[in-house]
Amino acid sequence: MLDAVTALSRGTRLVYQKGLRRYIFLPILVNAIVYATMLSVVVSRFSGWLDHWMGLVPGWLDWLSWLIWPLFMVSLLAVIFFTFTLITHLIAAPFYGFLAAKVEIQATGRIPLDDRGLAKTALDAVGRELIKLAYIAPRAIALFIVSWIPGLNLFAPLLWGLFSAWVMAITYLDYPMDNNKVAFKDMRKRLSKRWWQSLSYGGLVTLVTWIPLANLFLIPGAVAGAVLMWDQHYRTARELTHQSHS
């Protein structure tokens, strides 16, 4: 049974093989530009942001500053992480969808059910990212608010970790599902039914995205790994039958 680590390692080796390498240069370039831009902004302003939020803490909670400070830092890092993720994937989504389709053909021998054509696929990929944003943003905002509530904020790091894993599962496993005409709502149901595979893969990808510089070269492998996870855990018998008759 394919696990998250095996899927990611196989996917990374796969995208750097002959025949697929040509499809990863543009996504890496997009990631590099966004990464460098956001890193420069974060490095220059992170301390000021943290001081501002800490300045909003009421005086009677000063004695808890030793605990509040790291919680705020985790929450702020989480917001930065999600901002970076959403921007990069909004820009690179057409490339990732195309890469996922090529990986599916080469790795599984099956042709994705998508028949929209390159231009429409690229346009729809951006629309799909906006749907993801509409799903993720309000939940991230709610979790950020929870991070401010005394008592509940003690659980904020754990909740952010689980939420990050879920978001990464949605983000990456959606590429092969979108290519196979799986609706966004149906995609979330499939991920929920295979919650361990979903969270373990999403959690692993979350860790990968936090590795400076190396993440630029591992993210295309995460897209390919998602295709392998899709084929192993989420593809239904009905779709396999449809594929065999097409």
Run of H or E residues at 240: helix 237-245
Run of H or E residues at 20: none
Cβ atoms within 10 Å, residue 190 = 17
- The 8 Å CB, 24+ separation contacts for 44-47 are 46/76, 46/80
Could you tell me what percent of the chain has a pLDDT over 90?
A: 33
The lowest-confidence range among 28-32, 130-134, 146-150, 190-194 is 146-150
Contact (Cβ atoms closer than 8 angstroms) between residue 26 and residue 243 = no
Rounded to an integer, what distance in angstroms lies between the CA atom of residue 101 and that of residue 5?
21
Q: What is the pLDDT of residues 150-179, one digit of tens each?
A: 677 778 788 888 999 999 999 999 999 999
pTM of the model: 0.78
Tokens 């690229």 locate to 122
Q: What is the pLDDT of residues 23-77, one digit of tens each?
A: 888 778 877 887 788 777 777 776 776 676 666 565 655 655 655 666 666 666 7
Write the CB contacts of 216 (distance below 8 Å, at least 6 apart in sequence). 28, 31, 32, 35
The three state secondary structure string of 110-122 is CCCCCCCCHHHHH
Average model confidence (pLDDT) across the chain? 81
| Residue 146, pLDDT score | 82
Domain boundaries, the chain: 4-245
Run of H or E residues at 56: none
Tokens 């149906």 locate to 186
Instruction: Provide the token pair at 163.
Output: 């939420």
| Residue 234, pLDDT score | 95
> In angstroms, how far is CA 83 from the centroid of its own chain?
11
